[in-house]
Chain A
Amino acid sequence: MRRFVIGSARNLIESSRQKYQFERSILSSPYRFLSSSPAADSPSSSSSSSSTMAHPVSLNTINPKVIECEYAVRGEIVTLAQILYCNIGNPQSLGQQPITFFREVLALCDHPAILDKSETQGLFSADSIERAWQILDQIPGRATGAYSHSQGIKGLRDTIAAGIEARDGFPADPNDIFLTDGASPAVHMMMQLLIRSEKDGILCPIPQYPLYSASIALHGGTLVPYYLDEATGWGLEVSELKKQLETSRSKGITVRALVVINPGNPTGQVLAEENQKAIVEFCKQEGLVLLADEVYQENVYVPEKKFHSFKKVSRSMGYGEKDIALVSFQSVSKGYYGECGKRGGYMEVTGFGADVREQIYKVASVNLCSNISGQILASLVMSPPKVGDESYESYSAERDGILSSLARRAKTLEDAFSKLEGVTCNKAEGAMYLFPRIDLPEKAIKAAEAAKKAPDAYYCQRLLAATGIVFVPGSGFGQVPGTWHFRCTILPQEEKIPAIVTRLTDFHKSFMDEFRG
């Protein structure tokens, strides 16, 4: 059993090896990132009836864009005591408890028949019952089992818009909100709209969350990379954006959009407001859609940093609908709630014409609607209990408990990484990850080459075999050539952190001893 688990965890690392090879080709010609057309092993296009020919659907004949895209973070999820999963941002699989109030409301909405039973009051908090009634009243016919409007239930969008307004201090329009099954389908939808061919480019941070590279590849576009500056805490320099934009334009790529992940994944930085203003200005000047991945907006761990939405920043600059096209993504999977399995999320779409909006709606409607439970939860995370509500105290205790524990875990891991020979680790200001850099001895790099692996993948694989700890090699996210990293989530339960630190420290020492020159 354990072997099986190791095997599947190994696959995770294995897949990032391919990623690495592939990335080398990217980095030598960055503007064809992921979009190179495959060798045209053209399948039987003149197929006539014959039973001896290849299957209609086989590796040779499926959509090559499907084969092109890579997705390093995931593989099979298996849990077993000996394996310490630090690879996926999936908090509840590692024991994080859901927020009670949210789950009470969801349970009641799933089974409204008990709402008016007196026994229910003994089992549920009064405000959860009240909230469930409110939500059911917002759903036409109180039917949680019905397809909703393809943008999501209007009443829930009203609640979310009010939540955004309260967060930003600027108005939000419920008609700008599209509820989706997690943030990922929303990202896909925007890529689908933007990308016409490989001539269309999307500026993406490197390192980046592989959803973006995968989605761009699947839709046949070109990823235009810009590097985050590790030396300044993974800072985002507008000069770098400009440089990459110019270079790609000179190669005939039409850059359509800029992806910014704030707080950063895998890099954990929280952008400063001034920096965000410069980014907004850049997008406005260059006519780019700003795709703001803001799913970690609740995950900020340092007092000196604060999350500012791009919408707030651009509105505070006096830029409205006419000035900038902005899409903000939010999810129920992250934050203190971590409700990954619910597949809830939304995008707030501003600065597009009505004709484009209609097209987004049309694409959304092909899939009918997102799941209702996820929709309800998205409204709950944007309007949690307030001071004075019966559940407020337990809610805020649960929330603060989770966030402060995440901050402690981040600090403990960061300190531990920094103590390792050859490892430097930036502060996790936000999100759920650390992305330390590791300077590997020459001998280790040679050994990795001999094993046909990227050096960081080799390190991670050795780590897994020796300790059961699963990290994702930096090559899965992209990095400056010649630098090596790994991504570690801060999600393992707090009592497991010391064991991770000890095992990692011991392994690292022996690894360095083995390869030190």
Chain B
Amino acid sequence: MGLKALDYETMNENVKKVQYAVRGELYLRASELQKEGKKIIFTNVGNPQALGQKPLTFPRQVVALCQAPFLLDDPNVGLIFPADAIARAKHYLSLTSGGLGAYSDSRGIPGVRKEVAEFIERRDGYPSDPELIFLTDGASKGVMQILNCIIRGQGDGVLVPVPQYPLYSATISLFGGSLVPYYLEETANWGLDVNNLRESVAQARFKGITVRAMVIINPGNPTGQCLSEANLREILNFCYQENLVLLGDEVYQQNIYQDERPFISSRKVLMDMGPPISKDVQLVSFHTVSKGYWGECGQRGGYFEMTNIPPKTVDEIYKIASISLSPNVPAQIFMGLMVNPLKPGDVSYDQFVRESKGILESLRRRARIMTDGFNSCKNVVCNFTEGKSLLSTGHSKAFVFCDFFSALLLGYHTGAMYSFPQLRLPPKAIEAAKQAGKVPDVFYCLKLLEATGISTVPGSGFGQKEGVFHLRTTILPAEEDMPEIMSSFKKFNDEFMAQYEDNWNRSRM
């Protein structure tokens, strides 16, 4: 009998619609090349430890001891584990019922959720309720749970920034909802203009879509901007007026490389605004152990905190969480350690500070090298914003701009761990891409990959204004490899541009 149980034609259409660029065509090709023995530099995923970042020692010591609690009874344990790690391991084991091997409460271990609540309170100056904090297997799982609860069908829309992190578009497709894009202003350092928001909502409503929620990514991914307090107020006001639940993706809150514009949580601003807004606007904030100087991506640890979500809805979200039984317990302990770090005077404190500072400072230097490297490339476009004064003014050719981006400019809009340069592709390159059946920036990135082994993500995977092209790279490759990476990038880019340019430049000049 030729009945096929599950073939492409009979699959759930929503699954087919999902696009996921971070691990899309480019990544697959890169993996193939790697299999063939080519050296690949993965800058496509914010995955610091894959690129050589060393984990912080203390949390690894604590979790190792929790994995092997019998060591705690061994008189020699002190030979390789410091006393504060031993104490912390005992502390976290006492919060579990059955150690790392037992399912926890589906929302996470109550004691760890309490530590998260205390962290939020210290950060924001407002109390937080552990009952409204759910630990998750990474922030992505949390985002998926919340969107699953919100989206009823394609008539439900979610406002998502463009460029955006593709988790959002993928999840919205998967659950059959409608993505309502709002564009970030590249010329204003990827700022968020409330007028754009209104326009997006109006357009969606015109099409019969009920806009239910709004996503902000702060600090931005891939754009790296850090939202100002004033901007956050506008956003919250907007959510209040339009009756939207705000989903605050705040996973890069530790990745701030500047002092003038610190990270401010949406929740703090919401509370500062006072009633009625503070009592009314619904907010879900997400955090993770994967980013920051922790970079513990492989653990899959995260949490979300709910504000102004009614108890019955919280119960439903709890039920959804309970179908997956519980988040993984080792990562819950990582989360506890992240929100409740060592204090001055602890035996391991100095080492901890040294390691975390070292990581952040190195990221900063790498950002710098990348910025300078991109800025020396042909047709890599840059808007002149606050970053301008820092940039080398040595680019004499008019079309060599040095847009860049976000995360990277020291002392300016910096956050996250990405750069998102704009590529000014000559018409001939665009034509060649069409011939090859590729989106122009995908075409560029594939060529880059083949020529240099550098695996990036084309801007089209995140969304961008029509006719404008970008690529995203992380700033994570090892510092010592950075100069070489940038010089091979430049060599490729300049040749690529020269190949397709012809007279185009001259006429543009």
Interface positions of A (Cβ within 8 A of B): 43-45, 47, 49-51, 53, 55-59, 61-67, 69, 71, 74-77, 79, 88, 90-96, 98, 100, 103-104, 106-108, 110-111, 113-114, 117, 119-120, 122-124, 140-141, 143-150, 181-182, 184-185, 188, 192-196, 211, 214-215, 218-219, 256-257, 283-289, 324-325, 333, 338-343, 351-353, 355-356, 359, 362-363, 365-374
Contact = CB atoms under 8 A, between A and B. Distances in A.
Among B276, B290, B325, the one with the most A-chain Cβ atoms within 10 Å of its Cβ is B325
A359 B8 contact: yes
Contact of A140 (B50, B63, B245): B50
Given A56-B212, A343-B328, A372 B8 contact: no
Contact of B310 (A55, A215, A287, A351): A55
Contact of A371 (B15, B106, B155, B328): B328
B6 A325 contact: yes
A71 B137 contact: no
B151 interface: yes
A123 B242 CA distance: 60
Question: What 3 A-B pairs are tightest by C-beta distance, nearest first?
Answer: A287-B3, A341-B329, A93-B98
Interface string B61-89: 10111011111001011011000000000
B298 A340 contact: no
A340 B103 contact: yes
B348 interface: no
Interface residues of B, number: 108
A365 B300 contact: no
A342 B73 CA distance: 23
17 contacts: A44-B243, A47-B210, A56-B243, A57-B309, A63-B148, A63-B151, A63-B152, A66-B316, A76-B105, A103-B67, A104-B68, A145-B298, A192-B174, A363-B174, A367-B140, A371-B330, A372-B298
Nearest to A153: B298
A110 B12 contact: no
A321 to B, nearest CB: 12
A143 B328 contact: no
B49 interface: yes
Which residue, of A98, A144, A374, has the highest number of chain B Cβ atoms within 10 A? Answer: A98
Contacts, number: 330
A98 B312 CA distance: 37
A144 B63 CA distance: 13
Contacts of B57: 113
Nearest to A143: B49
Contacts of B503: none
A222 to B, nearest CB: 14
B313 interface: yes
Contacts of B309: 55, 57
A257 B60 contact: no
B308 interface: yes
B13 to A, nearest CB: 6
Contact of A120 (B65, B80, B330): B80
B138 A193 contact: no
Contact of A98 (B101, B155, B241, B326): B101
A107 B98 contact: no
Given A359-B15, A371-B299, 7 more contacts: A67-B316, A92-B99, A96-B101, A119-B79, A141-B50, A218-B323, A355-B8
Contact of A59 (B6, B55, B312): B312
Contact of A343 (B52, B76, B137, B171): B137
A106 B6 contact: no
- Interface hub of B48, B101, B140, B241 (most chain A Cβ within 10 A): B101
Nearest to A221: B12
B440 to A, nearest CB: 23
Given A196-B13, A341-B101, A366-B140, A123 B243 contact: no
Interface stretch (B16-24, B408-416, B420-428): B16-24
Nearest to B107: A76
A113 B15 CA distance: 41
Given A43-B210, A367-B138, A110 B328 contact: no
B324 A185 contact: yes
Interface in B474-505: none
A214 B13 CA distance: 21
B230 interface: no
Most buried by B among A194, A214, A365: A365
B1 interface: yes
B11 interface: yes
B80 A90 contact: no
Given A146-B298, A184-B323, A79 B97 contact: yes
A218 B329 contact: no
Contacts of B13: 196
Nearest to B177: A63
Contact of A123 (B16, B48, B71, B331): B71
B320 interface: yes
B359 interface: no
B12 A196 contact: yes
B328 A353 contact: no
Contacts of A53: 243
B271 interface: no
B331 to A, nearest CB: 6
B282 interface: yes
B5 A257 contact: yes
B41 interface: no
Contact of B240 (A51, A74, A145, A194): A51
B299 A61 contact: no
A343 B331 CA distance: 10
B391 to A, nearest CB: 32
B325 A368 contact: no
A288 B96 CA distance: 42
B381 interface: no
B295 interface: yes
B397 interface: no
A111 B64 CA distance: 6
Contacts of A62: 149-150, 152, 313, 316
| Most B C-beta atoms less than 10 A away, residue of A185, A324, A368, A370 | A368
B12 A74 contact: no
A341 B6 contact: no
